[in-house]
Amino acid sequence: MKRPSRRWWRAGATSLAALLALSTLAQSGQEDGLRQGAQFVGRYGSPEALRESLGNPLLSSEAQLATLDGATRFSAQLSFPSSRRLLEVFAQPGATGDLTQVIIAQDLDFTGRLEAVEQLPFAVSGVCANGVISCTPGTWEQCRHFLWGTRDDGRLFLQPAQVFDLGGCYCINNACGDTLVWRNLPQVLNTLGGGAVGALQAAHPHFAVSQVEIDGPRIAYFGQDRARPLPSADKPPAAGAPLPETRYLSDPFLLADALDERLAAQTPDPLSPYRLLAGLSERGTAGEKRACAMRRVIQVSEIHDRCDDPLPETILPPVLQEIGADGICRRNYDLYREILSDTCRTLEDDRTCRLEQELVDGVATYRQFNPTGLAPLPQGRYVAGSSFLHNSLLWRHAVGWENINASVFERFVDLRAGDTLAFSIVKTQHTTPSGCQHTVVKLRVETEDGEIVGDRTDGGAYTLCWNIGHPYFVFAYAVPSDGAHGFRISGGGYDPGKHSLNSEFRVRLIRESRRGQTFERPWWSRDRTYLCEQPGGHDFADLKERLAAVVTSTAEAQGRLSFEDRRRDAQGAWVDSSHAADLPQAAVIEECEPVCKTRRPKVEAQVAVAGTAVQARTEPLSFEFFYRPCREMRCPVEPGEEIVQDCRCLNEFAEAAAIMQTLRLAGRDQICSDGAAKSLP
């Protein structure tokens, strides 16, 4: 490690004020820092020390966690037992590219021992995210598909499946390319092991995977059983039981209810974790809350036009048509238009504003800058249009001229409050130049019980004058609000002067109705609250000016630091001043960290398809090399190791570069297969 240049003092220019006040304490502070640094290296400076000081106390009840100075010790074992290897998958490809050897090893009871070991009885030609595919070795023919599953005791197995049951599959044997497994070994292992551990966690949600390691053709999953209590002296580890949290898997809506309960409990408390975290996003920035709304509105307008005009698509039925005295057909209908009012667009497009809360049709979809996962169900709204009159013909008959019995009628009809019965005479052709006549009319309306509610049976004569096609109303009865439903209508009419030829009596039901339609939309109203940064904010111009003056004038000579300061006085004018401070003596730092190089004999015992590694080597013995930091210029040699180079400033860059280049070129084609000479890349 090279000694830092004196220029590093410039980096501390922003803290010079504090330096002036604490210059007398600088030496003691430096000594404290060096002492604590030495304590830290001594306690955590090697893998063994790290394991003893942190690893064992967290995973075992026998070791205790200690503070840095060792003065305080306490139990810090994790709440759940850990396994060195929850699951281990070993995969070895053969000459055909298929995985001819796949071994699954499991720790079922979290004792640290892989007691369940099984080997797949077939070769694997393709791997999937949730299973495997086995075909004729080296080909993609006669393929069988298997899905990962878990037995009651936690053992993994493969069950026959259909191709559509699998997902994320790809071919790995020679049918798709040479040496695909070796070239993509980490990906193949991750896919193979990921499908197995996914099936294991699906059956046992309380299993938690904490670490994954790949070592050659082996992948290992380290995990914990969060449902297994800690073992005691008189009680072995208990089997995993379903956690209360697993109920959310069967009913996800319970999670939203639990969230609302927790928020309701913590919101009133300003020191609760929820209130503290929710307020972090609002701190440090001047801002204001702005409210906006989005509304969906259906507007209805009544239209009167001619029947031959094009009819719009957005109408509220029914459409009423009527031919006037001029012979022109006219119609009446309601036209609706959907309008979306949005006052949130400006805030949504403003990068200085963030959505804090949102209510959609009364449902909170956003709360404290985060989505709640809730959504309102589609709601239908009834939109009422204009009122109109239904004019229904109940009875019609030609006018008699001898007596009233020649044109009597009787009808039963259901009426409702507000209905009107109208008795009229309509002339179809002119029979006299004047177009007038004397007519006798009788009409009676009574309930089903025989109560007479309307009577015009006095036999009075009416002098009627009208045009062709225009009715002349001689009697109308309005049904009261408390009227019954069943009514009997009877009556008749005649013309003693026999002037009513080519005329007819008509009884009509006039009923007022209202147009309307139910509209279904995903939402009708959105109410939002945004938090927007206020324009301007803090002005750092003066601070930047002062910082520039201090940094550009800072100089160090003979252990003394000098600089020029610049700040505004009470009247706002800039005032320059000179300052100086004695620097503490810089610590003497070695040019490098002394390390030593050791080696330990190692016998290559790996097994491959062709046999063991010993059978393929002329010398079965090899070495593992280690670089270890020296302690007080002594090499910490472990049992079985010998020192290759003792403590010094080692520079192994050339050797490391040569090894990396060798490994890189080992994966390249060294044979001129195409006949063209190639240079080393």
Q: How many residues does the chain have?
A: 681
> Over 50: is that where the pLDDT of 609 sits?
no
Please give the residue that has the higher pLDDT: either 624 or 168: 624
Please state, for a pLDDT cut of 70, what percent of the chain lies above it.
67
> Over 80: is that where the pLDDT of 12 sits?
no
Beta bridge partners of 207: 225
Mean of all residue pLDDT scores within the chain: 75
pLDDT digits (tens, 9 = 90+) for 391-437: 777 767 666 555 555 556 677 777 777 777 777 766 665 554 445 65
Structure pTM? 0.33
Rounded Cα distance, 100 and 124, in Å: 7
pLDDT of 192 reads: 92
Rounded Cα distance, 581 and 562, in Å: 6
Tokens of 386: 């204009």
Rounded Cα distance, 124 and 171, in Å: 9
**What value does the mean pLDDT take over residues 41-67?**
74
608 pLDDT band, cuts 50/70/90, is very low
Rounded Cα distance, 562 and 579, in Å: 6
pLDDT digits (tens, 9 = 90+) for 466-512: 444 445 555 566 666 555 566 677 666 666 655 555 667 777 777 77
**Cβ neighbours of 451 (radius 10 Å):** 9
pLDDT of 407 reads: 59
CB 127, CB 185: distance < 8 Å? no
Amino acid at 232: S
SS3 at position 184: coil
Please give the residue that has the higher pLDDT: either 462 or 173: 173
> Over 80: is that where the pLDDT of 276 sits?
no
Rounded Cα distance, 383 and 129, in Å: 52
Instruction: Show the beta-strand stretches assigned E in 10-168.
Output: 65-66, 73-74, 82-93, 99-106, 116-119, 126-127, 131-134, 144-150, 156-161
Please give the residue that has the higher pLDDT: either 333 or 295: 295
The closest alpha carbon to 279, from 356, 344, 219, 178, belongs to: 356
Cα 14–Cα 15–Cα 20 angle in degrees, nearest 5: 130
